A and B are shown apart, each in its own frame.
Chain A
Amino acid sequence: MSRKTIEVPILARVEGEGALDLVIENNQISQCDVRIYEPPRYFEKFLEGRHPNEIIDAVARICGICPLAYQISVMKAMEKAFDIQTNDWIERTRQLMYCGEWMESHYLHAHMLAAPDFLQYNSALEMAKDYPDEVKRGMRVQRVGNKILKLLGGRSVHPGGNKLGGFYRAPLVEQVKTLIPELEQARQDAIDTIGWFSTFQFPKRRDDINFVSLSAPNDYPMVADRIISSSGLDIPIQEYDQYFSEYQVPHSTAKHSFLQGKPYLLGPLARLNLNFDKLPKSIQDVACKTGVNWPSNNMFHSILARAIEGLWCIERALDICRSYVYPDRPDVNVSVKASQSWGASEAPRGIQIDYFEFDNEGKATKINIIPPTSQNLACIEADLRHSLTQLGFDRPDDEIRQHAEMVIRNYDPCISCSTHFLKLNLERK
């Protein structure tokens, strides 16, 4: 009987810290645990008793990469609970800000974290020596995303600016218009980036994955009230906990999530697969030129999906900036009441969904904040079992370790959100 253990003691190039414990027994994986060992952060508990705007400000601290996702979902839940009707200016300006976050997150991940895997480099630094123009191009687009966040939120990391019913202030038209030339350049950069990624050699595979994303009636989903899946689910977000369940697992401080008892995938590939027809025709054409037959069941096409979404963000941001007008006021009147509600939005790495109950002063009395990475963890473990079995266990430990890390990085896991992430411990028996 042979047994082998491989340890990835710290997973590099992911957001946060975690580890992977892998035990191979008689050429089969007997243990595959993505171990999240960062302590729980108890956001839900210490936000109880807080007023809406305190919560909106605090949830931005859950993540340094996708802080706005938490703010947007919370604001949606609150505004629904308190029957607050926002207006078109608020919704479009929020979407502009969210486009900034997607750009910042997608281009950082695609260039600094994922691309080196496909080109056989150990780091972005090594890759940058051979691909300086491509790396600079990715950083240029990321920077535009950061600029949008800074303009609307005061700073690009943990932005302020958002409040119940709108914004604390509106940027001047001149300020918004200065973004247009940079977004126009970013649009070309995004198209070139898709072209570059489409030259990568993708491992051939066809995964049996249940894709899940939000669904908006006539638009690519960023903020929406319905959840759909490739297995035919189509529900309002308030029915989330009737179909989805969260479990504690012994090896992780982050919970695992299942849809009707099975792992599922969130994020760019799921969103693109389920909402391809809602992309503008011009972007569909660019996507089709990659040579991939969308929808794709190959998890490694996530980097392409991310780049295609990047182009969508840039075009949407351009549209909003070009038609931007200075409002009479950047918010609407608000009042609070005892109520409860769900709110959801698409963080760069998947659905971020919240449940809130409020008392008659608008203070939160019960909170459940469900980040995308913890929802993806069960899928990551299932993917690892599948991918490593396909790779073959006769490979050297280093190759198995490298492939395991590549698989995990594909998901753009944000351990900071799920509580934080990766070390590989591989044991062969």
Chain B
Amino acid sequence: MNILILAIGSPHGDDQLAWLASEQLYCNKLLDSTIHIECVDRPGLNLLYWFEETYDAVILMDAVLNQNSQPGEIFQLPPDKISAFQGMLSSHNLGVAPSIALAEVLNLLPKHCYFFGMQAKNTGINEPLSSEIKNNICRLCHCVEQHLQLLATYHHRES
């Protein structure tokens, strides 16, 4: 099973959390050769091009800004919930949620797509990473790793 983990972010403040999580996942050495990690900087519609690659599953990680959520809170969303989720940070009007919605309409989503987000605090340009995010990145990685194990079990049963 080929899996892509796409860490979406930017170098600013807590928006870099997915990139940092991807480094952590890499260091944890739980990933095998079928799992590919990519860091992308505010991809906009280019996100769809990743879905056209031949991955069986795509896992997206990104920072979110959801009303009434605490910094560090983790969100786990299937595709149908991603496009409806209002807390996505986005550059212009073509952020992650509209891109996923468009991919759904165009039938481009891979068989399995899942989103992991974490509520950000510092979102300004050149702001530092907040301690709330720094302290919760391991927890985010743990959630992603658990999901990967579930995927492996599911795939094993299917095959």
Which residues of A are in contact with B by a Cβ distance under 8 Å? 12-13, 15-16, 64, 108, 112, 124-125, 128-129, 132, 135-136, 139, 142-143, 146, 156-157, 416
Contact = CB atoms under 8 A, between A and B. Distances in A.
Contacts of A416: 92
B77 interface: no
B93 A13 contact: yes
A128 B101 CA distance: 10
Interface residues of B, number: 16
Given A15-B92, A129-B105, A157-B41, A143 B98 contact: no
A132 B105 contact: yes
15 contacts: A13-B93, A64-B91, A124-B102, A125-B98, A125-B102, A125-B105, A128-B102, A128-B106, A132-B105, A132-B106, A132-B107, A135-B102, A143-B46, A156-B46, A157-B42
A416 B91 CA distance: 11
A117 B56 CA distance: 36
Contacts of B94: 112
B49 to A, nearest CB: 6
B48 A139 contact: yes
B105 A112 contact: no
B106 A143 contact: no
Given A125-B98, A129-B105, A132-B107, 4 more contacts: A108-B45, A125-B102, A139-B48, A143-B46
B8 to A, nearest CB: 13
B58 to A, nearest CB: 17
Interface centre among B42, B98, B101, B102 (most CB of A within 10 A): B102
A16 B102 contact: no
A136 B49 CA distance: 11
Contacts of A156: 46
A64 B93 CA distance: 13
Nearest to A113: B93
Interface centre among A64, A125, A142 (most CB of B within 10 A): A125
A151 B7 CA distance: 22
A213 B45 CA distance: 30
B105 to A, nearest CB: 5
Interface string B4-46: 0000000000000000000000000000000000000110011
Query: Which secondary structure dominates chain A's binding surface?
Result: helix
A128 B98 CA distance: 12
A64 B46 CA distance: 13
Nearest to A420: B92
B35 to A, nearest CB: 23
Contacts of B46: 143, 146, 156
Nearest to B105: A128
Interface centre among A12, A135, A136, A139 (most CB of B within 10 A): A139
Contact of B106 (A13, A15, A135): A135
Contacts of B101: 125
Interface string B40-79: 0110011011000000000000000000000000000000
Contacts of B92: 15-16, 416
Contacts of A108: 45
Given A108-B45, A139-B45, A146-B46, A12 B93 contact: yes
Contacts of A124: 102
Contacts of B107: 132
Nearest to B43: A157
Contacts of A112: 45, 94
Contacts of A136: 106
Nearest to A12: B93
B1 to A, nearest CB: 26
List the 6 closest pairs (A to B, CB-CB), nearest first.
A128-B105, A132-B106, A129-B105, A125-B101, A125-B102, A143-B49
A130 to B, nearest CB: 10
Contacts of A135: 102, 106
